[in-house]
Amino acid sequence: MLKYILKRLAYCVLILLGVSLIIYFLIRLMPVDFIQSKIDAINQGGATVSEETVNAMYEMYGLGDNSFSGIMKGYFNWLGALVRFDLGTSFVYGIPVVDVILEHMGISFIIALIATVFEFLIAIPLGITAATHQYKLRDYVVTVLVMIGISLPSFFFGQMLKNTLALKLGWFPASGLVDATSDYNFWGLMGQYVSHMFIPILTIVILSIGARMRMTRTNMLEVMNSDYIRTARAKGLKESKVINKHAFRNTLIPLVTSLAGLLPSLFSGAIITEQVFDLPGIGNIALDAMNRGDIPFIMGYNMFLALLSVLGVLLADLMYAVVDPRVKLE
C-alpha cells in the first residue's frame, strides 16, 4: 500500500508540472492585459502615461516579453517561487495570493459543504427508493426530479428562486452575505449568514441531486439483479437487510468514483451561483481575476484546484480498497 501511494504521489508531481505549464501559457496568451487596463484607466482620468513608464510597468510585473522564451522565463520564475511556497502577489489586490485565497475560500467551502451534505442525504435515499420501486409512482417522481436537476441551468434557476423568495415574497435577502444595518454580534452575524446563504445553498442542492440520484438508481438496479441478491432473498433475509447491507454496500463502489471530484468542488466555489447572489466567495473572486488578467492569482487558484483534483483521485482509488476488499492496490 505504501509503495503504491508513493508511486502515485510521484505521478501527481509530474501531472501538476504539466498542468502548471499549460495553464501558465494559456494565461499569458489571454487577450486580457492587466497593464493595458491600468493604462486605459489612467488615460480616462485625464492623465497621460509615457512609453517609458508603460515599459517599466510591464517589466515590473514580469510581462515585458511575450515571446516563447519570455513566457518560459516567466514560468520558471513562477515555478522557482512556488518551490519556496510563494504563490506571488495578486496584481489586483496587491497582497499575497495565499491571503486572497484564504480570505474568500471559507465562504465557498461552507456553502459547498452544507450543499454536499444535503445532496447526499437527499439523493442517495431517493435513488435507492426509485430502484426498489422501479416503474412505480416513486420512481416516476424521482425521474422528474432528476430531469429538473439536470436540465435547469444554475443562473436561470438561481435567479428564479431569487426573484420569488427574495424580491417578491421578501422571505430572504436577495444578495450579499450580511446587511449593511445588521447587528454585528455573534448571533446576529450567524442569523445574517444563514438567511443570506439559504437560497444559494438551496439552488446548488436542487440542481445537484439529480445526477446523484440517477447514479444511485442505476447502480442499485444493477446490483438488485445480481445472483447474490437473489440468494440472500432465498435464504429468507428481510428485504430491508438485503437492500441496506448487501445491495447498498456494493452500490457504493461506483459512487466512490464521484468522490474524486468532490474534494476540489468543496474549495473551488460555485462561480455562477456566487455571481447571481453577489457572494464574496472564491469562485466570484476567481472570475473577476480572470477578467482583469490577474496572472499570479489565476495561477495560484488553478494550481490549488489541480492539487486537490489529483489528491481526490488518489483518495478515490484508496477508498476502493475500503468498500471492496477484493480490490488490491499494488
Beta strands in the chain (DSSP E): none
Cβ atoms < 10 Å from Cβ of 163 = 12
pLDDT at 113: 87
pLDDT at 7: 79
Dihedral sign for Cα 300, 306, 308, 311, please: negative
The three cell numbers of residue 195 are 438567511
- DSSP label at residue 168: I
CA 204 – CA 119 distance, rounded (Å): 9
Tell me how many domains the chain contains. Answer: 1
Residue 14 in any domain: the answer is: no
H-helix segments, the chain: 2-28, 34-44, 51-60, 68-83, 97-132, 137-151, 154-161, 186-224, 227-234, 239-241, 248-258, 262-268, 271-276, 282-292, 295-323
pLDDT at 322: 66
CA 161 – CA 166 distance, rounded (Å): 7
Can you tell me which residue has the cell 468532490?
262
pLDDT tens digit sequence for 146-203 = 787 778 888 888 888 888 888 888 888 887 777 766 566 767 777 777 888 888 888 8
pLDDT at 272: 80
pTM for the structure as a whole:
0.78
pLDDT at 62: 72
Phi (first) and psi of residue 89, to 5 degrees: -110, 135
CATH number reported for the structural domain that contains residue 266 in this entry: 1.10.3720.10
Is 186 buried (19+), middle (13-18) or exposed (0-12) by CB count in 10 A? exposed
Residue 128 in any domain: the answer is: yes
Residue 47 in any domain: the answer is: no
Residue 124 in any domain: the answer is: yes
Residue 152 in any domain: the answer is: yes
Looking at this protein, which amino acid is placed at residue 211? A
Looking at this protein, which amino acid is placed at residue 164? T
The three cell numbers of residue 317 are 482509488
Residue 151 in any domain: the answer is: yes
Cβ atoms < 10 Å from Cβ of 171 = 11
pLDDT tens digit sequence for 280-300 = 888 888 888 888 888 888 888
pLDDT at 263: 75
| Contact of 115 with 154, CB cutoff 8 Å | no
Question: Which residues fall within 8 angstroms of residue 209, CB to CB, at 6 or more apart?
Answer: 119, 122, 123, 126, 145, 149
Per-residue pLDDT 10s for the chain (330 aa) are 677 778 778 888 888 898 889 988 888 888 777 777 777 776 776 667 666 766 777 776 777 777 788 888 888 888 888 888 888 888 888 888 888 888 888 888 888 888 888 888 888 888 888 888 778 887 888 788 778 777 888 888 888 888 888 888 888 888 777 776 656 676 777 777 788 888 888 888 888 887 788 888 888 877 777 777 777 778 777 777 777 766 777 777 666 677 667 777 777 777 788 888 888 888 888 888 888 888 888 888 888 888 888 888 887 777 766 666 565 655
Q: Which of 150, 142, 141, 137 is nearest to 123 (CA)?
A: 142
pLDDT at 327: 58
Dihedral sign for Cα 48, 50, 55, 59, please: negative
Residue 271 in any domain: the answer is: yes
CA 126 – CA 217 distance, rounded (Å): 8
Residue 224 in any domain: the answer is: yes
What range does the domain containing 223 cover?
Answer: 103-289
Cβ atoms < 10 Å from Cβ of 323 = 15
Can you tell me which residue has the cell 455562477?
272
CA 70 – CA 175 distance, rounded (Å): 43
pLDDT at 282: 85
Cβ atoms < 10 Å from Cβ of 243 = 21
CA 51 – CA 57 distance, rounded (Å): 10
Q: Which of 261, 250, 249, 246 is nearest to 212 (CA)?
A: 261
pLDDT at 325: 59
| Contact of 154 with 272, CB cutoff 8 Å | yes
- DSSP label at residue 152: S
Can you tell me which residue has the cell 440517477?
214
pLDDT at 324: 61
| Contact of 261 with 211, CB cutoff 8 Å | no
96, β-bridge pairs: 89
Can you tell me which residue has the cell 436577495?
174
